[in-house]
Amino acid sequence: MSSRPSVFVIIVTYNGALWIRQCLESLRSSAYPCRPIVVDNASSDGTQRIVQEEFPEALLLEEKNNHGFGIANNIGIAKALDLAADYVFLLNQDAYVLNDTIGKLVDALASNKDYLLATPLHCSPDTSHVDPTTQTWYLQKYCPDFISDACLGQTKDFYPIKGVNAAAWLISRKAILKAGGFDPLFFMYGEDDDLINRYAYHGLQFLLVTKSLIVHLRKKSPPTKITWLQSVKKSGVRIRSNLLSDMKSPSNNSAALNILILICNGILKPTIDFLIDRNIATLFAHYYAFFSTLKCFRIASKNSEACKNEGPHFISQ
């Protein structure tokens, strides 16, 4: 019997037929053994059939509704824990690993006992380029030492980092039991930043393993025609995630302060911006975000307070 820690790879899919083959084929070629768990959010493009027929080693969990990124990952994480996973590796459907990616992450945590979380270096569109979104929003913000070392051509093997986007995370069982999973209030966008903040609150940070690489293609499904109102709502969902993240920040302990922040960012600032740029769609998107955030204010406050305690929050077992 192998003594190596068990790794289950959680892949959330939604109409991912264009790239799920490359994702799963890369896992099939992994030098470190892993078991894929695909959580499908009611795809309508045949993603489920591809997984079932071409990748029998993958465990497919077919959902009847589109739960969004966070809840679907929680479903996969809970299943992996039920199957006695030592680690779960979150991987986007439009990303793929190299044959040594997972092994280097596991080895890095084994040799750095103070860390329970690891992330590879996110590349896009190939391994010769760091993913620009990850670089701008996470590496420059949370790991300036890596940026400066990379400019000098002398990067180290490991760097501590608060977090990166959840396109590729290796999470230990201990970290899940200590801090939990994604808050279901987030449908899409912002759920990873919220969880990163919770990890930090509980004294957990990621280990950036620079010699472990993934490629995040950042491909999107073929565009479909949507109405003006649908476009406004789509933008509002993203803005709502930002408002929720601000409101749930562990540094915000006052309900009155959170209400004030919500009013300023959701009503006052966008209204002033509208008086300048006259963009009615952006204004309505902010108003939609404000009222949908206000609607779940009590639940968000309750979740925020509960998550200050250790526990497998939002992971049903």
Name the residue ranges covered by the structural domains of the chain.
7-216, 228-306
Give mean pLDDT, residues 205-217. Answer: 98
Residue 221's pLDDT band (cuts 50, 70, 90): low
Residue 92 confidence (pLDDT): 98
Cα separation, 49 vs 186, in Å, equals: 28
Give mean pLDDT, residues 102-118. Answer: 98
Tell which wins on pLDDT, 2 or 27.
Answer: 27
Residue 223's pLDDT band (cuts 50, 70, 90): low
Of 24-38, 133-147, 223-237, 249-263, the poorest mean pLDDT is in 249-263
With 90 as the cut, is the pLDDT of residue 295 above it? Answer: yes
Residue 192 confidence (pLDDT): 95
Give mean pLDDT, residues 290-304. Answer: 93
Residue 248 confidence (pLDDT): 86
Residue found by looking up tokens 């279901």 in the block: 184
C-alpha pair distances (Å), 230 with each of 15, 224, 266: 19, 11, 19
With 90 as the cut, is the pLDDT of residue 250 above it? Answer: no
Give mean pLDDT, residues 297-305. Answer: 92
**DSSP three-state, residue 91:** strand
With 50 as the cut, is the pLDDT of residue 1 above it? Answer: no
With 80 as the cut, is the pLDDT of residue 139 above it? Answer: yes
Cα separation, 252 vs 37, in Å, equals: 36
Residue 104 confidence (pLDDT): 99
With 60 as the cut, is the pLDDT of residue 102 above it? Answer: yes
User: What DSSP designation does 64 have?
Assistant: S
Which residue from 215, 184, 177, 4 is spatially nearest to 80, judged by alpha carbons? 177
Exposed e or buried b for every residue in 147-179, given b needs 16+ CB within 10 A?
eeebeeeebeebbebbbbbbbbbbbbbebbebb
Cα separation, 138 vs 65, in Å, equals: 31
Give mean pLDDT, residues 143-170. Answer: 97
- Per-chain mean pLDDT for the chain: 95
**DSSP three-state, residue 269:** helix
Cα separation, 168 vs 134, in Å, equals: 11
Return the number of other C-beta atoms located less than 10 Å from residue 211's C-beta. 16
* Contact between residue 216 and residue 122 where contact means Cβ atoms under 8 Å apart: yes
Structure tokens at 150: 């990379």
With 70 as the cut, is the pLDDT of residue 197 above it? Answer: yes
Residue 275 confidence (pLDDT): 95
With 90 as the cut, is the pLDDT of residue 316 above it? Answer: no
Residue 252's pLDDT band (cuts 50, 70, 90): confident
Of 25-39, 47-61, 172-186, 222-236, the poorest mean pLDDT is in 222-236
Cα separation, 308 vs 164, in Å, equals: 21
| Fold exhibited by the domain 7-216 | Spore Coat Polysaccharide Biosynthesis Protein SpsA; Chain A (3.90.550)
Cα separation, 121 vs 105, in Å, equals: 10
User: What DSSP designation does 184 have?
Assistant: T
Cα separation, 218 vs 220, in Å, equals: 7
With 80 as the cut, is the pLDDT of residue 231 above it? Answer: yes
Tell which wins on pLDDT, 193 or 261.
Answer: 193
Residues 6+ apart with CB under 8 A from 280: 274
